Amino acid sequence: MGLLFWDWLPMEISYKNKCENEAGLTQYKTPEEWQAENPGVWETLTPMPRFNEEVIRSQGGSVLRSRLNERFAKDVTAIHHWFTVDEIRTQIVDMQTNTTMAVHVDFRAHPSGGLSFNSFGELCFVLARNFRFWMAKGNCYAANNIYWGWQKPQELRERLGMESSRFYDLMENFKRGVGK
């Protein structure tokens, strides 16, 4: 029985460490700071329609780029770590200068083989032959009662949940601009 669960404890330790120390929001520039550095540009930005995504492939992996408007994009990267722990890195990028405005980092664990982009550019689970349900973990701010093992402290869940909401509000702000 012990051999069956050999990978559970290393996954729990890795997931816990990454959620506590690496997950969250880092904002490098506010919309107001960007506007001050780029006078007159903000007023010309108009939101792009949905489904304007492309997968950018490189040696380091794939990035799903969704254009927010003429100047900004949301880049999502899935990075695989040991013991089925996947990092989901979402960035708001100024496409003209390749400057990162903000980054949101989250982690999940999937017994199905991890996360990847399909041919349509959608972030999806890569199904494998193993269905080790005890290795499944949602994002770092998910409720505890669904998952086995490490109980996330409530203050960590609340902080990461607020940072996630703040990131998506920030992304909407960069997307809207003022418009024509």
- Rg for the chain (alpha carbons), in Å? 18
Instruction: Identify the residue whose tokens are 């880049």.
Output: 75
Domain assignment of residue 124, yes or no: yes
Whether the per-residue pLDDT at 95 is higher than 80: the answer is: yes
3-state secondary structure of 69: coil
Q: How confident is residue 1, by pLDDT bands cut at 50, 70 and 90? A: low
- Given this model, what pLDDT does residue 22 score? 93
The three-class DSSP label of residue 121 is: coil
Residue 164 reports pLDDT greater than 70: yes
Q: How many domains does the chain have?
A: 1
Is residue 3 in a domain?
A: no
CB-based contact 33:100 (threshold 8 Å): no
Residue 1 lies in a domain: no
Under the banding of pLDDT at 50, 70 and 90, the label for residue 136 is confident
Q: What is the largest CA-CA distance in the chain?
A: 66
Over the stretch 50-81, which tens digit does the pLDDT of each residue have?
767 777 776 666 788 889 999 999 999 888 88
Which residue is listed with tokens 């919309």? 31
Does residue 136 sit within a domain? yes
| 107's tokens | 């982690």
Q: Which of 102-106, 119-123, 138-142, 155-159 has the highest mean pLDDT?
A: 102-106
Return d(Cα 166, Cα 104) in angstroms, integer: 10
Question: Is 129 a domain residue?
Answer: yes
Q: What backbone torsions phi and psi does residue 52 show, to the nearest 5 degrees? A: -115, 50
Residue range(s) defining the domain that contains residue 77: 8-176
Is the distance from CB of 177 to CB of 38 less than 8 angstroms?
no
**Structural domain includes residue 26:** yes
Rounded to two decimals, what is the model's pTM? Answer: 0.77
What is the C-alpha separation between 109 and 107, in angstroms, rounded? 7
- Is residue 58 situated within a structural domain? yes
Q: Is 94 helix (H, G, I), strand (E, B) or coil?
A: strand
Order across the sheet with 53-58: list the strands.
24-27, 99-109, 85-94, 72-80, 61-67, 53-58
In a domain, 2, yes or no: no
Average pLDDT value for residue range 127-154: 61
Query: 146: which DSSP letter?
Result: G
**Torsion angle of C-alpha atoms 19, 22, 24, 30, degrees rounded to 10:** 180
Mean pLDDT score, 9-20: 88
Predicted pLDDT at 101? 95
